[in-house]
Amino acid sequence: MIAKMKTIHTAQEEFRQKDSDKNGAHDYWCQDVAGLYALSPEGKPLMFITEELAKADLRPAARLPWKEGPVPAVGYWVAALPFSDKKSDRNRFAVCAWPSEPMAGTWTFVMSHSGVIYGKECLPPLTYPENPSREGWVTPEQVYNLTRKRRDPLWWVRPWDY
| pTM for this model (two decimals) | 0.88
3-state secondary structure of 95: strand
153: phi then psi, degrees, rounded to nearest 5 = -65, -20
Contacts of 4 (CB under 8 A, 6+ apart): 53, 73, 74, 76, 78, 97
pLDDT of residue 160: 59
Q: pLDDT tens digits for 52-87?
A: 999 999 999 977 888 888 999 999 999 999 998 877
55 in Cβ contact with 78 (< 8 Å)? no
Tell me the pLDDT of the chain averaged across its residues: 90
Closest CA to 74 of 57, 59, 56, 58: 56
- What is the distance between the alpha carbons of residues 111 and 129, in angstroms, rounded to a whole number? 10
In degrees, rounded to 5, the angle at the alpha carbon of residue 44 between the alpha carbons of residues 40 and 47 is: 80
pLDDT exceeds 60 at position 156: no
The 10s digit of each residue's pLDDT in 103-150 is: 888 899 999 999 999 999 999 999 999 999 999 999 999 999 888 766
| pLDDT (0 to 100) of residue 43 | 87
| Strand order across the 117-120 sheet | 76-80, 94-99, 108-112, 117-120
**Where are the chain's structural domains?**
2-161
Is the CB of residue 28 less than 8 Å from the CB of residue 80? no
